[in-house]
A = this chain, B = another copy of it.
Amino acid sequence: MSTFVVVGGDAAGMSAASKAKRDDPSLEVVVFERGQWVSYGACGLPYYVKGEIDSLDSLVSVTPEEFREERDIDLRTGHDVVDIDPDDRTVTARNDDGEVVVEYDHLLIATGAAAVTPPIDGLDREGVFTLGSMSDGKELREYVSRARTEEELQQPDRGPACQFLETCNGPVGIVGGGYIGVEMAEALAANDFEVHLFQRGDRVLKQFSDATSERVLDHLADQTVSVHLGAEVESLDGGDRVEAIATTDERVPVDMVLVGTGVRPRTDLAEDAGVELGETGAIAADAYRETNVDDIYAAGDCAEAGHVVTDDPTYVPLALTANRHGRAIGQTVAGTPTEGGGVAGTAAVKAFEVEAARTGLLDESEARDAGFDPVSKTIDAKSRAGYYPDGGTVTVTLTADRDSGRVLGGSLVSEYGEGAVHRSHALVAAVTEGATVDDLSDYDLAYAPPFNTTWDPILTAAKVLGKDVGPNR
């Protein structure tokens, strides 16, 4: 009987554990998880904080008991893995009762990512949050839903934008204009906070196209979010509790701060065991997700993966990749070698009443580094037939290589429900399959008036870009 040990009980870890055990029930599968929660949907935390989801438990897709009893997995929560010894092929974990050592035949490192700590003074003050774990979510929800006293609601120095709100729970700050930033802006605004979002660069959602960023920015402003662009946050001021955000330019009174400036891979354990990191700083792995050390695999937010366009290692810590790579490793460990597949850098976000998605290579310098000569076009198109009621506008940015016409990437934004995100699926396919813009513009996509114009917006984008790229340009 051989043993598969998994370090980390979230998406990648539990996917691998479940798949391995299902495909080969004779395997002993041991999972060490530091916390008490496993297999939870961290992506749902903003909606829990917003109040759209009643219970943290509902973010858990499978409970620890179900893993243990129904899936026969030896899941040990509250266990902190402190050492991996590839020579002895052992893992040492510590819990309240002491240490335990387990031998492994196959090992998966799925230690995830930690919130990046930006160089800002005052991060340790009360009222400063990040949003990475279930307990972060719990604390934030408690803060958001706490009943305010009359006195609190009337404090005069609580920021000028409170005047736009009928009742105002006070001004709050968000540092970082990525997914977490815009999702949390929605969550907080929905709870009658005056939201200030501080973004270092000149646009929000910087992985998306300029046009997408602009439309999201306009929408945030419509929703009375104060977006402070080009803001260098220097300190979170106050006493025990945070009272203001200070940038190089201004000082904004706030009662709470959410820091969402990205994540970095947790790699200490891997490095100590002699597992190599890649150039992205995350754990490197081959197509089967095996590291440089025999029988040690890596997946999820601690690891890098090959990009479907460039084949270069990329660090895109997102849930689907974690699930997919975990599942592939489980299958491999159970006896069917399975490649994990690449990443396209795809991402989706809802911000109030707009939705956006992006995939592939959009950044000009990244594309040039990969040997392409990128050309981009952005179009605005109706989301439904012009005469059909209640439609909106889909803004599509498409990027392709000038000579070959190959589709490199795309970015879409529309009103929520008008299909930017689901439409992006076709661009992922085109990018992954190496399709050209001409190929894309010939796709026989579904059309009916309640769903699009005869030429779906992505076809229109392809037609327009097709004039500037490829052999016929």
Chain A contact residues, CB within 8 Å of chain B: 11, 41, 43-44, 47, 52-53, 58-59, 61, 179, 308, 318-321, 323-324, 336, 338-339, 341-350, 355, 357, 359, 385-389, 416-417, 419, 421-426, 428-430, 432-433, 435, 439-440, 442-452, 454-456, 458-459, 472
Minimum C-beta distance from A467 to chain B (A): 10
CA distance A346 to B459 in the complex (A): 15
* The one of B53, B336, B359 that contacts A446, using a Cβ cutoff of 8 Å: B359
Most buried by B among A385, A425, A454: A425
Q: Is the CB of A41 within 8 A of B324?
A: no
* Given A44-B449, A348-B451, 12 new contacts (CB under 8 A): A41-B387, A43-B448, A44-B388, A58-B386, A320-B445, A341-B444, A342-B444, A421-B451, A422-B422, A422-B423, A430-B433, A433-B439
Residue of B nearest to A15 (CB): B454
Q: Is the CB of B454 within 8 A of A320?
A: yes
Minimum C-beta distance from A308 to chain B (A): 7
- Residues A389 and B425 in contact in the complex (CB < 8 Å), given A319-B454, A343-B444: no
Residues of chain B within 8 A of A349, CB atoms compared: 448
Q: Is the CB of A446 within 8 A of B424?
A: yes
Most buried by B among A318, A323, A349, A442: A442
Minimum C-beta distance from A275 to chain B (A): 24
* The one of B41, B52, B388, B422 that contacts A47, using a Cβ cutoff of 8 Å: B388
Q: Is the CB of B425 within 8 A of A458?
A: yes
* The one of B343, B389, B416, B425 that contacts A426, using a Cβ cutoff of 8 Å: B425
Residue of B nearest to A60 (CB): B387
Residues of chain B within 8 A of A343, CB atoms compared: 444
Q: Is the CB of A350 within 8 A of B444?
A: no
Residues of chain B within 8 A of A338, CB atoms compared: 472
Minimum C-beta distance from A341 to chain B (A): 3
Residues of chain B within 8 A of A43, CB atoms compared: 385, 447-449, 454
Q: Is the CB of B421 within 8 A of A448?
A: yes
Residues of chain B within 8 A of A449, CB atoms compared: 41, 43-44, 47
CA distance A29 to B137 in the complex (A): 65
Residues of chain B within 8 A of A357, CB atoms compared: 446
Residues of chain B within 8 A of A389, CB atoms compared: 52-53
* The one of B345, B386, B433 that contacts A61, using a Cβ cutoff of 8 Å: B386
Q: Is the CB of A350 within 8 A of B450?
A: yes
Residue of B nearest to A442 (CB): B341
Residue of B nearest to A327 (CB): B463
Residue of B nearest to A322 (CB): B454
Residues of chain B within 8 A of A345, CB atoms compared: 444
CA distance A109 to B246 in the complex (A): 70
A/B interface sample: 28 pairs, CB < 8 A: A11-B454, A41-B387, A41-B449, A47-B388, A59-B387, A318-B447, A320-B447, A338-B472, A339-B442, A341-B442, A342-B444, A345-B444, A347-B448, A348-B446, A348-B451, A349-B448, A350-B448, A350-B450, A419-B422, A421-B448, A422-B423, A425-B425, A425-B426, A425-B446, A425-B456, A426-B428, A426-B429, A429-B435
